[in-house]
Protein backbone atom coordinates (compact mmCIF):
# COMPACT_ATOMS: atom_id res chain seq x y z
CA UNK A 1 0.00 0.00 0.00
CA UNK A 2 1.24 3.48 -0.82
CA UNK A 3 1.73 5.58 2.29
CA UNK A 4 2.64 8.73 0.44
CA UNK A 5 1.61 9.66 -3.06
CA UNK A 6 2.62 12.68 -5.06
CA UNK A 7 0.48 13.12 -8.16
CA UNK A 8 1.37 15.43 -11.04
CA UNK A 9 2.99 18.15 -8.94
CA UNK A 10 4.36 21.24 -10.70
CA UNK A 11 5.83 24.43 -9.29
CA UNK A 12 7.20 27.65 -10.71
CA UNK A 13 9.04 30.53 -9.10
CA UNK A 14 9.04 33.89 -10.84
CA UNK A 15 8.13 32.60 -14.31
CA UNK A 16 10.63 29.77 -14.14
CA UNK A 17 9.26 26.29 -13.84
CA UNK A 18 11.28 24.35 -11.28
CA UNK A 19 9.54 20.98 -11.29
CA UNK A 20 7.03 19.60 -13.73
CA UNK A 21 4.43 16.90 -13.38
CA UNK A 22 6.15 14.89 -10.68
CA UNK A 23 4.45 11.69 -9.63
CA UNK A 24 6.08 9.42 -7.10
CA UNK A 25 4.90 7.06 -4.44
CA UNK A 26 6.28 5.61 -1.28
CA UNK A 27 5.04 2.25 -0.03
CA UNK A 28 4.90 1.11 3.54
CA UNK A 29 8.31 0.45 5.10
CA UNK A 30 10.17 1.49 1.97
CA UNK A 31 13.18 3.72 1.67
CA UNK A 32 12.93 5.55 -1.60
CA UNK A 33 15.56 7.97 -2.84
CA UNK A 34 15.07 10.97 -4.99
CA UNK A 35 18.37 11.45 -6.73
CA UNK A 36 19.28 14.52 -8.72
CA UNK A 37 21.78 17.30 -9.01
CA UNK A 38 21.75 20.21 -6.59
CA UNK A 39 19.38 22.98 -7.58
CA UNK A 40 17.30 20.54 -9.59
CA UNK A 41 14.10 21.11 -7.66
CA UNK A 42 14.51 18.43 -4.99
CA UNK A 43 14.03 20.86 -2.16
CA UNK A 44 11.08 22.53 -3.88
CA UNK A 45 9.33 19.18 -4.08
CA UNK A 46 10.30 18.50 -0.52
CA UNK A 47 8.70 21.71 0.77
CA UNK A 48 5.52 20.87 -1.11
CA UNK A 49 5.32 17.41 0.45
CA UNK A 50 5.95 18.91 3.91
CA UNK A 51 3.06 21.29 3.29
CA UNK A 52 5.23 24.38 3.60
CA UNK A 53 4.48 25.55 0.10
CA UNK A 54 1.58 24.95 -2.29
CA UNK A 55 2.12 23.39 -5.71
CA UNK A 56 0.82 25.19 -8.81
CA UNK A 57 -0.80 21.93 -9.82
CA UNK A 58 -1.03 18.39 -8.50
CA UNK A 59 -1.77 16.80 -5.15
CA UNK A 60 -0.03 15.14 -2.22
CA UNK A 61 -1.74 12.27 -0.41
CA UNK A 62 -0.84 10.71 2.91
CA UNK A 63 -2.65 7.41 3.30
CA UNK A 64 -5.17 8.54 0.67
CA UNK A 65 -5.90 11.75 2.50
CA UNK A 66 -5.23 14.99 0.65
CA UNK A 67 -2.56 16.92 2.55
CA UNK A 68 -1.59 19.37 -0.21
CA UNK A 69 -0.46 22.63 1.37
CA UNK A 70 -1.20 21.42 4.90
CA UNK A 71 1.74 21.38 7.31
CA UNK A 72 1.68 19.23 10.41
CA UNK A 73 1.50 15.84 8.68
CA UNK A 74 4.97 14.96 7.49
CA UNK A 75 8.15 15.76 9.35
CA UNK A 76 11.55 16.10 7.85
CA UNK A 77 15.20 16.13 8.57
CA UNK A 78 17.82 18.29 6.91
CA UNK A 79 21.55 18.41 6.52
CA UNK A 80 21.45 20.92 9.37
CA UNK A 81 20.35 19.03 12.46
CA UNK A 82 18.21 21.99 13.64
CA UNK A 83 18.44 20.84 17.22
CA UNK A 84 17.64 23.81 19.42
CA UNK A 85 20.82 24.73 21.32
CA UNK A 86 18.95 25.66 24.49
CA UNK A 87 17.12 22.38 24.91
CA UNK A 88 18.65 19.14 26.13
CA UNK A 89 18.67 16.27 23.65
CA UNK A 90 15.68 14.58 25.26
CA UNK A 91 13.73 17.84 25.23
CA UNK A 92 14.67 18.45 21.62
CA UNK A 93 13.55 15.02 20.59
CA UNK A 94 10.33 15.31 22.57
CA UNK A 95 9.43 18.65 21.00
CA UNK A 96 7.10 17.31 18.27
CA UNK A 97 5.14 15.42 20.94
CA UNK A 98 4.85 18.54 23.09
CA UNK A 99 3.72 20.58 20.09
CA UNK A 100 1.00 18.03 19.48
CA UNK A 101 -0.20 18.64 23.02
CA UNK A 102 1.37 15.81 24.99
CA UNK A 103 2.27 16.61 28.60
CA UNK A 104 5.93 17.51 29.01
CA UNK A 105 6.72 14.69 31.41
CA UNK A 106 4.97 12.07 29.33
CA UNK A 107 6.63 13.34 26.14
CA UNK A 108 10.04 13.13 27.78
CA UNK A 109 9.40 9.59 28.95
CA UNK A 110 8.25 8.47 25.54
CA UNK A 111 11.22 10.12 23.85
CA UNK A 112 13.68 8.64 26.33
CA UNK A 113 12.36 5.14 25.71
CA UNK A 114 13.79 5.23 22.17
CA UNK A 115 17.28 6.44 23.07
CA UNK A 116 18.74 2.96 23.43
CA UNK A 117 17.37 1.81 20.09
CA UNK A 118 18.71 4.86 18.29
CA UNK A 119 22.17 4.53 19.83
CA UNK A 120 21.68 7.68 21.85
CA UNK A 121 21.81 6.23 25.35
CA UNK A 122 23.47 8.56 27.84
CA UNK A 123 22.94 11.74 25.84
CA UNK A 124 19.51 12.59 27.30
CA UNK A 125 20.62 15.44 29.55
CA UNK A 126 23.28 16.84 27.26
CA UNK A 127 22.97 19.89 25.09
CA UNK A 128 23.41 19.65 21.31
CA UNK A 129 26.74 21.50 21.42
CA UNK A 130 28.19 18.64 23.45
CA UNK A 131 27.43 16.01 20.79
CA UNK A 132 29.32 15.01 17.64
CA UNK A 133 27.81 15.63 14.22
CA UNK A 134 26.86 11.98 13.79
CA UNK A 135 25.14 11.84 17.16
CA UNK A 136 23.23 15.03 16.46
CA UNK A 137 21.88 13.51 13.25
CA UNK A 138 20.76 10.46 15.22
CA UNK A 139 18.83 12.71 17.56
CA UNK A 140 17.37 14.58 14.60
CA UNK A 141 16.19 11.31 13.08
CA UNK A 142 14.57 10.26 16.34
CA UNK A 143 12.79 13.59 16.53
CA UNK A 144 11.55 13.07 12.97
CA UNK A 145 10.35 9.58 13.85
CA UNK A 146 8.53 10.73 16.96
CA UNK A 147 6.72 13.29 14.92
CA UNK A 148 5.26 10.71 12.59
CA UNK A 149 5.74 6.98 12.64
CA UNK A 150 4.24 6.73 9.18
CA UNK A 151 6.51 8.68 6.90
CA UNK A 152 9.57 10.88 7.00
CA UNK A 153 11.34 13.12 4.54
CA UNK A 154 15.09 13.21 4.71
CA UNK A 155 16.78 15.96 2.71
CA UNK A 156 20.47 15.14 2.31
CA UNK A 157 20.62 14.36 6.01
CA UNK A 158 24.16 13.02 6.03
CA UNK A 159 25.85 15.17 3.43
CA UNK A 160 27.59 17.39 5.98
CA UNK A 161 29.34 14.44 7.60
CA UNK A 162 32.84 13.36 6.66
CA UNK A 163 33.38 10.09 4.77
CA UNK A 164 34.20 7.88 7.74
CA UNK A 165 31.44 9.21 9.97
CA UNK A 166 29.09 8.92 7.04
CA UNK A 167 29.70 5.22 6.54
CA UNK A 168 29.20 4.52 10.26
CA UNK A 169 26.03 6.57 10.19
CA UNK A 170 24.79 4.67 7.11
CA UNK A 171 25.27 1.39 8.89
CA UNK A 172 23.49 2.71 11.94
CA UNK A 173 20.72 4.13 9.78
CA UNK A 174 19.98 0.85 7.97
CA UNK A 175 20.07 -0.94 11.30
CA UNK A 176 17.58 1.44 12.93
CA UNK A 177 15.35 1.39 9.87
CA UNK A 178 15.18 -2.43 10.07
CA UNK A 179 13.75 -2.03 13.55
CA UNK A 180 11.38 0.88 13.15
CA UNK A 181 10.24 0.37 9.54
CA UNK A 182 9.76 4.05 8.92
CA UNK A 183 8.71 4.73 5.33
CA UNK A 184 11.20 7.27 4.09
CA UNK A 185 11.64 9.55 1.15
CA UNK A 186 15.32 10.22 1.01
CA UNK A 187 16.59 13.15 -1.01
CA UNK A 188 20.23 13.03 -2.02
CA UNK A 189 22.76 13.90 -4.68
CA UNK A 190 25.10 11.14 -3.58
CA UNK A 191 24.74 8.16 -5.93
CA UNK A 192 26.49 5.68 -3.62
CA UNK A 193 24.33 6.70 -0.71
CA UNK A 194 21.17 6.27 -2.77
CA UNK A 195 22.09 2.76 -3.91
CA UNK A 196 23.29 1.71 -0.49
CA UNK A 197 20.19 2.76 1.42
CA UNK A 198 17.25 2.60 -0.95
CA UNK A 199 14.72 0.07 -2.09
CA UNK A 200 13.94 2.22 -5.10
CA UNK A 201 15.48 5.30 -6.66
CA UNK A 202 13.77 8.02 -8.66
CA UNK A 203 16.00 10.10 -10.88
CA UNK A 204 15.05 13.74 -11.06
CA UNK A 205 16.69 15.42 -14.05
CA UNK A 206 16.37 18.24 -16.52
CA UNK A 207 15.06 21.76 -16.32
CA UNK A 208 12.31 21.94 -15.21
CA UNK A 209 12.96 18.83 -13.13
CA UNK A 210 11.02 15.72 -14.06
CA UNK A 211 11.23 12.11 -12.97
CA UNK A 212 12.96 10.43 -15.86
CA UNK A 213 13.75 7.01 -14.43
CA UNK A 214 12.88 4.65 -11.64
CA UNK A 215 15.33 1.98 -10.53
CA UNK A 216 14.60 -0.79 -8.04
CA UNK A 217 17.57 -1.96 -5.98
CA UNK A 218 17.00 -5.68 -5.72
CA UNK A 219 19.44 -6.39 -2.97
CA UNK A 220 17.86 -8.03 0.06
CA UNK A 221 17.91 -6.24 3.41
CA UNK A 222 19.72 -6.20 5.73
CA UNK A 223 22.36 -5.46 3.16
CA UNK A 224 25.63 -7.36 3.22
CA UNK A 225 28.64 -5.49 4.49
CA UNK A 226 30.51 -5.35 1.21
CA UNK A 227 27.50 -4.52 -0.94
CA UNK A 228 29.04 -1.22 -1.94
CA UNK A 229 32.05 -3.08 -3.39
CA UNK A 230 30.07 -5.70 -5.31
CA UNK A 231 29.51 -6.07 -9.05
CA UNK A 232 25.77 -5.48 -8.62
CA UNK A 233 26.40 -2.19 -6.85
CA UNK A 234 28.68 -1.04 -9.65
CA UNK A 235 26.13 -2.09 -12.24
CA UNK A 236 23.50 0.10 -10.58
CA UNK A 237 25.96 2.94 -10.35
CA UNK A 238 26.86 2.64 -14.03
CA UNK A 239 23.19 2.64 -14.97
CA UNK A 240 22.55 5.81 -12.97
CA UNK A 241 25.62 7.67 -14.18
CA UNK A 242 24.88 6.85 -17.81
CA UNK A 243 21.31 8.05 -17.37
CA UNK A 244 22.35 11.28 -15.64
CA UNK A 245 24.86 11.87 -18.42
CA UNK A 246 22.20 11.78 -21.13
CA UNK B 1 41.86 25.81 32.46
CA UNK B 2 43.98 27.88 30.14
CA UNK B 3 41.11 30.28 29.72
CA UNK B 4 40.80 30.69 33.47
CA UNK B 5 44.46 31.58 33.95
CA UNK B 6 44.17 33.97 31.01
CA UNK B 7 41.27 35.58 32.83
CA UNK B 8 43.31 36.01 35.99
CA UNK B 9 46.18 37.65 34.08
CA UNK B 10 43.73 40.05 32.49
CA UNK B 11 42.45 40.98 35.91
CA UNK B 12 45.96 41.50 37.23
CA UNK B 13 46.60 44.08 34.51
CA UNK B 14 43.38 45.99 35.02
CA UNK B 15 43.77 45.94 38.82
CA UNK B 16 47.33 47.23 38.67
CA UNK B 17 46.20 50.06 36.39
CA UNK B 18 43.59 51.09 38.95
CA UNK B 19 46.05 50.87 41.83
CA UNK B 20 48.57 52.94 39.87
CA UNK B 21 45.96 55.58 39.18
CA UNK B 22 45.03 55.77 42.86
CA UNK B 23 48.68 56.16 43.85
CA UNK B 24 49.18 58.99 41.35
CA UNK B 25 46.02 60.67 42.62
CA UNK B 26 47.12 60.31 46.25
CA UNK B 27 50.50 61.84 45.39
CA UNK B 28 48.91 64.78 43.58
CA UNK B 29 46.89 65.58 46.69
CA UNK B 30 49.55 64.84 49.32
CA UNK B 31 52.21 66.87 47.50
CA UNK B 32 49.76 69.76 47.28
CA UNK B 33 49.84 69.95 43.48
CA UNK B 34 46.08 70.45 43.62
CA UNK B 35 44.41 71.86 46.72
CA UNK B 36 42.87 69.10 48.73
CA UNK B 37 39.53 70.86 49.12
CA UNK B 38 39.26 70.92 45.31
CA UNK B 39 40.47 67.34 44.81
CA UNK B 40 40.38 65.27 48.00
CA UNK B 41 42.85 62.40 48.14
CA UNK B 42 41.64 58.81 47.84
CA UNK B 43 42.27 58.34 51.57
CA UNK B 44 40.08 61.35 52.42
CA UNK B 45 37.38 59.98 50.13
CA UNK B 46 37.60 56.60 51.85
CA UNK B 47 37.36 58.37 55.22
CA UNK B 48 34.26 60.25 54.11
CA UNK B 49 32.77 57.03 52.82
CA UNK B 50 33.22 55.34 56.20
CA UNK B 51 31.95 58.24 58.30
CA UNK B 52 28.96 58.85 56.02
CA UNK B 53 28.20 55.17 55.55
CA UNK B 54 24.84 55.06 57.44
CA UNK B 55 23.52 58.14 55.59
CA UNK B 56 24.74 56.79 52.26
CA UNK B 57 22.94 53.51 52.86
CA UNK B 58 19.71 55.30 53.73
CA UNK B 59 19.81 57.23 50.46
CA UNK B 60 20.91 54.17 48.49
CA UNK B 61 17.78 52.31 49.54
CA UNK B 62 15.61 55.05 48.04
CA UNK B 63 17.63 55.25 44.83
CA UNK B 64 17.69 51.47 44.45
CA UNK B 65 13.94 51.25 45.02
CA UNK B 66 13.36 53.75 42.22
CA UNK B 67 15.84 51.98 39.98
CA UNK B 68 14.28 48.57 40.52
CA UNK B 69 10.69 49.69 40.08
CA UNK B 70 11.64 51.68 36.98
CA UNK B 71 13.71 48.84 35.56
CA UNK B 72 10.97 46.32 36.28
CA UNK B 73 8.39 48.40 34.47
CA UNK B 74 10.91 49.12 31.71
CA UNK B 75 11.45 45.38 31.23
CA UNK B 76 7.71 44.78 31.03
CA UNK B 77 7.20 47.63 28.58
CA UNK B 78 10.22 46.69 26.45
CA UNK B 79 9.18 43.06 26.39
CA UNK B 80 5.58 43.85 25.49
CA UNK B 81 6.59 46.20 22.71
CA UNK B 82 9.14 43.78 21.27
CA UNK B 83 6.60 40.95 21.21
CA UNK B 84 3.91 43.09 19.59
CA UNK B 85 6.27 44.53 17.03
CA UNK B 86 7.55 41.07 16.19
CA UNK B 87 4.10 39.58 15.78
CA UNK B 88 2.56 42.44 13.84
CA UNK B 89 4.67 43.88 11.05
CA UNK B 90 2.42 46.98 10.89
CA UNK B 91 3.21 47.91 14.47
CA UNK B 92 6.90 47.47 13.75
CA UNK B 93 6.75 49.83 10.80
CA UNK B 94 4.63 52.35 12.68
CA UNK B 95 6.39 52.48 16.03
CA UNK B 96 10.00 51.51 15.54
CA UNK B 97 11.08 54.91 14.16
CA UNK B 98 9.14 56.58 16.96
CA UNK B 99 10.92 54.53 19.60
CA UNK B 100 14.29 55.42 18.11
CA UNK B 101 13.22 59.06 18.18
CA UNK B 102 12.47 58.92 21.91
CA UNK B 103 16.09 57.98 22.48
CA UNK B 104 17.41 61.12 20.83
CA UNK B 105 15.81 63.25 23.54
CA UNK B 106 18.40 63.86 26.28
CA UNK B 107 17.30 62.57 29.67
CA UNK B 108 18.39 65.74 31.39
CA UNK B 109 16.09 67.75 29.16
CA UNK B 110 12.89 65.91 29.99
CA UNK B 111 13.60 65.30 33.67
CA UNK B 112 12.59 68.86 34.76
CA UNK B 113 9.36 68.55 32.78
CA UNK B 114 8.55 65.31 34.49
CA UNK B 115 9.12 66.97 37.86
CA UNK B 116 6.74 69.77 36.91
CA UNK B 117 4.08 67.33 35.82
CA UNK B 118 4.40 64.66 38.49
CA UNK B 119 5.90 66.41 41.51
CA UNK B 120 8.78 65.55 43.81
CA UNK B 121 7.67 62.05 44.74
CA UNK B 122 8.72 58.80 43.15
CA UNK B 123 6.54 58.98 40.03
CA UNK B 124 8.66 61.28 37.82
CA UNK B 125 11.80 59.33 38.69
CA UNK B 126 10.27 55.99 37.85
CA UNK B 127 8.90 57.36 34.58
CA UNK B 128 12.30 58.69 33.57
CA UNK B 129 13.89 55.34 34.30
CA UNK B 130 11.23 53.50 32.31
CA UNK B 131 11.86 55.78 29.34
CA UNK B 132 15.60 55.16 29.43
CA UNK B 133 15.56 51.44 30.19
CA UNK B 134 12.88 50.02 27.91
CA UNK B 135 14.77 50.93 24.77
CA UNK B 136 17.83 48.67 24.99
CA UNK B 137 15.55 45.84 26.05
CA UNK B 138 13.00 46.30 23.28
CA UNK B 139 15.67 46.63 20.61
CA UNK B 140 17.71 43.69 21.94
CA UNK B 141 14.70 41.40 22.09
CA UNK B 142 13.40 42.48 18.72
CA UNK B 143 16.75 41.78 17.08
CA UNK B 144 16.82 38.45 18.88
CA UNK B 145 13.36 37.54 17.60
CA UNK B 146 14.25 38.54 14.07
CA UNK B 147 17.56 36.73 13.95
CA UNK B 148 16.29 33.22 14.71
CA UNK B 149 17.04 30.54 12.17
CA UNK B 150 14.28 30.38 9.54
CA UNK B 151 14.91 26.68 8.96
CA UNK B 152 14.03 25.95 12.58
CA UNK B 153 10.81 27.89 12.20
CA UNK B 154 9.94 25.97 9.04
CA UNK B 155 10.62 22.69 10.78
CA UNK B 156 8.30 23.57 13.63
CA UNK B 157 5.65 24.70 11.20
CA UNK B 158 5.94 21.39 9.37
CA UNK B 159 5.38 19.72 12.73
CA UNK B 160 2.16 21.66 12.97
CA UNK B 161 3.27 24.30 15.46
CA UNK B 162 1.18 27.46 15.65
CA UNK B 163 2.34 31.01 15.99
CA UNK B 164 2.42 30.94 19.77
CA UNK B 165 4.34 27.67 19.90
CA UNK B 166 6.93 28.99 17.47
CA UNK B 167 7.31 32.01 19.71
CA UNK B 168 7.49 29.95 22.86
CA UNK B 169 9.93 27.29 21.64
CA UNK B 170 12.12 29.16 19.17
CA UNK B 171 11.90 32.92 19.25
CA UNK B 172 11.85 33.52 22.97
CA UNK B 173 14.72 31.23 23.98
CA UNK B 174 16.62 32.28 20.85
CA UNK B 175 16.46 35.93 21.92
CA UNK B 176 17.62 35.32 25.49
CA UNK B 177 21.25 36.31 25.06
CA UNK B 178 20.27 39.55 23.35
CA UNK B 179 17.72 40.19 26.06
CA UNK B 180 20.38 39.89 28.74
CA UNK B 181 22.77 42.11 26.80
CA UNK B 182 20.01 44.72 26.81
CA UNK B 183 19.24 44.16 30.47
CA UNK B 184 22.87 44.74 31.37
CA UNK B 185 22.82 48.16 29.76
CA UNK B 186 19.40 48.96 31.17
CA UNK B 187 20.45 48.09 34.71
CA UNK B 188 23.21 50.68 34.68
CA UNK B 189 20.93 53.21 32.96
CA UNK B 190 18.40 52.68 35.73
CA UNK B 191 20.80 53.78 38.48
CA UNK B 192 22.09 56.75 36.53
CA UNK B 193 18.53 57.72 35.59
CA UNK B 194 17.45 57.61 39.23
CA UNK B 195 20.33 59.84 40.31
CA UNK B 196 19.75 62.39 37.56
CA UNK B 197 16.08 62.70 38.35
CA UNK B 198 16.87 63.10 42.05
CA UNK B 199 19.14 66.03 41.26
CA UNK B 200 16.14 67.92 40.03
CA UNK B 201 14.15 67.57 43.16
CA UNK B 202 13.17 65.04 45.74
CA UNK B 203 13.28 64.21 49.43
CA UNK B 204 15.88 61.46 49.45
CA UNK B 205 18.18 59.33 47.36
CA UNK B 206 21.80 59.49 46.31
CA UNK B 207 21.07 62.30 43.82
CA UNK B 208 19.54 64.46 46.54
CA UNK B 209 22.47 63.70 48.82
CA UNK B 210 24.82 64.66 46.00
CA UNK B 211 23.25 68.08 45.50
CA UNK B 212 23.38 68.71 49.25
CA UNK B 213 27.09 67.90 49.64
CA UNK B 214 27.84 69.84 46.48
CA UNK B 215 26.25 72.95 47.96
CA UNK B 216 28.32 72.41 51.13
CA UNK B 217 31.48 72.05 49.00
CA UNK B 218 32.20 68.70 50.68
CA UNK B 219 34.11 67.28 47.76
CA UNK B 220 35.27 64.25 49.71
CA UNK B 221 31.63 63.21 50.26
CA UNK B 222 30.90 64.02 46.64
CA UNK B 223 33.56 61.58 45.51
CA UNK B 224 32.39 59.01 48.03
CA UNK B 225 28.90 59.06 46.56
CA UNK B 226 30.21 58.95 42.97
CA UNK B 227 32.16 55.81 43.82
CA UNK B 228 29.15 54.32 45.53
CA UNK B 229 27.03 54.86 42.41
CA UNK B 230 29.66 53.14 40.24
CA UNK B 231 29.85 50.26 42.66
CA UNK B 232 26.07 49.86 42.67
CA UNK B 233 26.00 49.88 38.85
CA UNK B 234 28.76 47.30 38.70
CA UNK B 235 27.00 45.08 41.22
CA UNK B 236 23.76 45.28 39.28
CA UNK B 237 25.53 44.36 36.06
CA UNK B 238 27.19 41.46 37.82
CA UNK B 239 23.77 40.43 39.11
CA UNK B 240 22.45 40.40 35.55
CA UNK B 241 25.38 38.17 34.52
CA UNK B 242 24.58 35.73 37.30
CA UNK B 243 20.91 35.72 36.36
CA UNK B 244 21.88 35.05 32.75
CA UNK B 245 24.03 32.09 33.75
CA UNK B 246 21.13 30.74 35.76
CA UNK B 247 18.59 31.22 32.97
CA UNK B 248 20.81 29.98 30.16
CA UNK B 249 22.47 26.82 31.46
CA UNK B 250 23.29 25.64 27.94
CA UNK B 251 25.84 28.43 27.52
CA UNK B 252 28.29 27.26 30.15
CA UNK B 253 29.00 23.93 28.35
Cβ-Cβ contacts under 8 Å, B244 against chain A: none
Percent of chain B scored above 90 by pLDDT?
51
Which chain B residues are Cβ-neighbours of A99 within 8 angstroms?
A: 156, 159-161, 165, 169
Give the count of Cβ contacts less than 8 A between chain A and B.
Answer: 59
Give the list of residues 6+ apart from residue A21 with CB closer than 8 angstroms, or none.
Answer: A8, A9, A10, A58, A210
**Segment holding A23, helix H or strand E:** strand A16-27
Give pLDDT tens digits for B64-100: 999 999 999 999 999 999 999 999 989 999 988 988 8
Q: Which residues of B touch A72 (CB under 8 A)?
A: 158-160
Question: Which architecture, in CATH terms, is A2-74+150-245?
Answer: 3-Layer(aba) Sandwich (3.40)
Q: How many residues in total does chain B contain?
A: 253
Structure confidence by residue, pLDDT tens digits, A47-77: 899 888 899 999 999 988 999 988 888 888 8
- The minimum CA-CA distance between B150 and chain A, rounded to whole Å, is 10
Query: With 80 as the cut, is the pLDDT of residue A37 above it?
Result: no
Rounded Cα–Cα distance for residues B45 and B42 (Å): 5
Nearest to B224 by CA among B60, B28, B29: B60
Residue of A nearest to B148 (CA): A84
Separation between Cα atoms, residue B233 and residue B237, nearest integer Å? 6
pLDDT digits (tens, 9 = 90+) for B104-162: 888 888 888 888 898 888 899 999 999 999 988 999 999 999 888 888 998 898 888 88
Q: How far is A71 from chain B (nearest CA, A)?
A: 5
Q: Residue A226's Cα: distance from chain center in Å? A: 23
Numbered residues of chain A with Cβ closer than 8 Å to any chain B Cβ: 47, 50-52, 71-76, 78, 80, 82, 84-87, 95-96, 99-100, 127, 129-130, 147
Q: Note the pLDDT of residue B252.
A: 65
* Contacting residues of B for A74, CB less than 8 Å apart: 158
Instruction: Name the closest residue on chain B to residue A88, using Cα atoms.
Output: B250
pLDDT of residue A73: 87
B170-207 burial, b at 16+ Cβ within 10 Å, e below that, comes to bbbbbbbbbbbbbbbbbbbbbbbbbbbbbbbbbebbbb
* Any A CB within 8 A of B150 CB: no
Q: Which residues in chain B are closer than 8 Å to A85, comparing Cβ atoms?
A: 250
B29 touches B40 (CB < 8 A): yes
CB B50 within 8 Å of CB B227: no
Q: Tell me: the pLDDT tens digits for B180-207?
A: 999 999 998 999 999 988 988 888 899 9
| B148 reaches A (C-beta below 8 A) | no
- A-chain residue closest to B175, CA distance: A86
Predicted complex: ipTM over 0.90? no
CATH code of the domain made up of B40-251: 1.10.3720.10
Q: What residue in A sits closest to B162 (Cα-Cα)? A: A99
**Residue in chain B lying closest to A145 (CA):** B159
Amino acid sequence: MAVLQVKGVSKSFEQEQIIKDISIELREGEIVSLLGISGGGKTTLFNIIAGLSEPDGGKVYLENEDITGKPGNVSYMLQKDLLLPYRTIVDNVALPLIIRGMKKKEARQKAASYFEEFGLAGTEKKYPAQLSGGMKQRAALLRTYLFSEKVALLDEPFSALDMLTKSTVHEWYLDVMEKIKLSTLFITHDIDEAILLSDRIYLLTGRPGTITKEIAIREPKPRRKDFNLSEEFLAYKREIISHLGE
Amino acid sequence: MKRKSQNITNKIWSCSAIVLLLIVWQLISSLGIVDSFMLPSPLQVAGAFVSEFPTLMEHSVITLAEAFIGLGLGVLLGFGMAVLMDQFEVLYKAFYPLIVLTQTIPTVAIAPLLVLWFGYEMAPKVILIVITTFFPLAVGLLNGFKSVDMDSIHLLRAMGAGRWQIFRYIKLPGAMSQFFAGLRISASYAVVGAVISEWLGGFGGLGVYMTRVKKAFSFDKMFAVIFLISIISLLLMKGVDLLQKKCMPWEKE
